[in-house]
Amino acid sequence: MMQTYDLQANSLRDLNAALHAQANDTNQTSWEIVNPRGSHAVAVGLDAPIEVSVKGSTGYYTAGMNKQATVHVHGSAGPGVAENMMSGTVVIEGDASQYAGATGHGGLLVIKGNASSRCGISMKGIDIVVHGNVGHMSAFMAQSGNLVVCGDAGDALGDSIYEARLFVRGSVKSLGADCIEKEMRPEHIEILRDLLERAGSDAKPEEFKRYGSARQLYNFKVDNAY
């Protein structure tokens, strides 16, 4: 049975407490949040296989540190959506502000619109699929995981990147330090096909280019200090 929670009539604290109280075997698996009105920290720290549907736009850190849960925002999300996500799925129907998926360790973040700057910053295993464009400094210091951009990427993509894989279908305004275009091998096509399918995108994997680390900054050298 659908549980409906009105954020205009009830507090954020009570909402998150109710969601945190759901155990792995809960039968309250379906939640609807209405009137989010840009609230911050909506559905943060979840750790149960529940589905949360947010009817409207949210503020900072929506679904932060998510585990297991599926959070679907029927609107746009503010900065830091799904930051440090561990597992589960977060879908944003609209646009996402800065730092989407920052430091995420796992799970899938889907942004149907555009993502602003620093999308996937310091990502540590999360998969991010952006149907539109991403802003500057996206995937800065990205450690692992996959960032898929169906549109264009802004300046300094993948600056100081470690082992994350970046896939961009459109243009890249500029690559950041130590980020280079790499060969798209069959295994990358397969990874990309799976991610696009799970993210509900009809883009073709063959249309993308892959970017990653040149691995020239991995060990400290004097020439790297300038």
Partner 1 sequence: MSVKDIKDKTPPRTMPIQSATFSNPINAEIRRAAATGIYDIRGGGAKRRVPHFDDLLFLGASVSRYPLEGYREKCDTKVTLGTRFAKKPIELDIPITIAGMSFGALSGPAKEALGRGASAAGTSTTTGDGGMTVEERGHSTKLVYQYLPSRYGMNPDDLRKADAIEVVVGQGAKPGGGGMLLGQKISDRVADMRNLPKGIDQRSACRHPDWTGPDDLEIKILELREITAWEKPIYVKVGGTRPYYDTALAVKAGADVVVLDGMQGGTAATQDVFIEHVGLPTLACIRPAVQALQDLGVHREVQLVVSGGIRNGADVAKAMALGADAVAIGTAALIALGDNDPRWESEYQKLGTTAGAYDDWHEGQDPAGITTQDAELQKRLDPIEAGRHLRNYLSVMTLEAQTIARACGHNNLHNLEPEDLCALTMEAAAMARVPLAGTEWYPGKPGF
Interacting residues toward partner 1 by CB under 8 A: 12-13, 16-17, 20, 40-41, 44-45, 47, 59-61, 64-65, 67, 79-80, 83-84, 86, 98-99, 102-103, 105, 118, 121-122, 124-125, 140-141, 143-144, 160, 162-163, 218-220, 222, 225
If the CB atoms of residues 19 and 150 are measured against partner 1, the closer one turns out to be: 19
Q: In terms of CB distance, is 186 or 226 closer to partner 1?
A: 226
Structure-block tokens of residue 139: 């995937």
Query: Do 114 and 94 meet the contact criterion of CB atoms below 8 Å apart?
Result: no
| DSSP H helices in 139-185 | none
CA–CA separation, 54 vs 74, rounded Å? 6
Q: For residues 5 and 208, which CB has a smaller minimum distance to partner 1 in the complex?
A: 5
Residue 20 CB, nearest distance to partner 1 (Å)?
7
CB of 16 to partner 1, least distance (A): 5
Closest approach of Cβ 45 to partner 1, in Å? Answer: 3
Q: Are 180 and 160 in contact (CB under 8 A)?
A: no
Cβ neighbors of 168 (< 8 A, separation 6 or more) are 149, 152, 153, 157, 208, 209, 211
